[in-house]
């Protein structure tokens, strides 16, 4: 089965759902599994996505899934992401952010965005 994903780096609102009609129609036409992934769903937006035949996942859902993976599968997923970013996307800014994230994750320092404010 083919999987198609639409990823949004924002909170998905009910107003955004109509923008996904073309994606939902194409997924249905191909008989694929359609994923809509976002930071979180507001109001009835998750339900409306699912009514269009899409599987709705937010960050919390994805963390719950990955938590079930064994360490080998987690390492393979990270390696695949690193390969994709560095060899397919070839975006140096994205690669630098990914490297910084992995460094912080492996050293146990604060998650990105949780840094203390720098003194002025």
pLDDT of 79-92, one tens digit each? Answer: 999 999 999 999 99
**Residue 55 DSSP SS3:** strand
Q: What percent of the chain has pLDDT over 90?
A: 83
Average pLDDT, whole number, for the chain?
A: 90
Q: What percent of the chain has pLDDT over 70?
A: 90
Q: Is the overall model pTM greater than 0.75, yes or no?
A: no
Residue 112 pLDDT greater than 70, yes or no: no
Q: Report the alpha-carbon distance of residue 43 to residue 100 in Å, rounded.
A: 34
Q: Report the alpha-carbon distance of residue 60 to residue 37 in Å, rounded.
A: 11
Q: Which whole number is the average pLDDT over 37-55?
A: 97
Q: Which DSSP letter does residue 105 get? A: H
The confidence score (pLDDT) of residue 80 equals 96
């Amino acid at each position: 089965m083919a999987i198609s994903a639409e990823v949004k780096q924002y909170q998905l609102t009910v107003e955004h759902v109509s923008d996904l009609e073309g994606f939902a129609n194409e997924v249905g036409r191909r008989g694929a599994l359609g994923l809509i992934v976002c930071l979180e769903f507001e109001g009835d937006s998750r339900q409306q996505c699912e009514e269009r035949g899409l599987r709705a996942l937010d960050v919390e859902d994805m963390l719950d899934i990955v938590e079930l993976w064994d360490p080998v599968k987690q390492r393979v997923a990270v390696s695949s992401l690193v390969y994709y970013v560095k060899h397919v996307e070839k975006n140096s800014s994205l690669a630098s952010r990914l490297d910084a994230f992995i460094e912080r994750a492996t050293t146990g320092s604060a998650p990105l965005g949780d840094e203390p404010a720098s003194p002025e």
